[in-house]
Amino acid sequence: MGITADDVARLGALARIRLTEQECHDLAPELNVILDSVRSVSEVAGPDVPMATHAIPLTNVFRDDVVTPSLTQDQALSGAPDQEDGRFRVPQILGEE
């Protein structure tokens, strides 16, 4: 069973994407090709095939975290143009919605 233009329209509505009737009609066969490809890969990958998320192994290239001395709260706030209750005071950018 393949994806129909109606299925595409419903998926578009769920994703809040406005699609014309022609776009739904054109996208349905393309999505079916994608699903067939995924189905083919799923058939090949059996329980004896290990899952691979990357073609090559990844290693962490970050340095280890080391605790070092840092500024005190007063030192950090000393250059602030405005402060309140021991914190930086900044202009509000978001509403109360």
C-alpha 7/C-alpha 36 separation (Å) is 16
Tens of pLDDT, residues 35-76: 999 888 878 777 887 777 788 888 888 888 899 999 999 999
Q: Are 18 and 41 in contact (CB under 8 A)?
A: no
Q: What are phi and psi of 83, to 5 degrees?
A: -145, 155
Name the residue ranges covered by the structural domains of the chain. 5-39
Count other C-beta atoms under 10 Å from residue 32's C-beta. 15
Q: Are 3 and 35 in contact (CB under 8 A)?
A: yes
What is the value of pTM for the model shown?
0.47
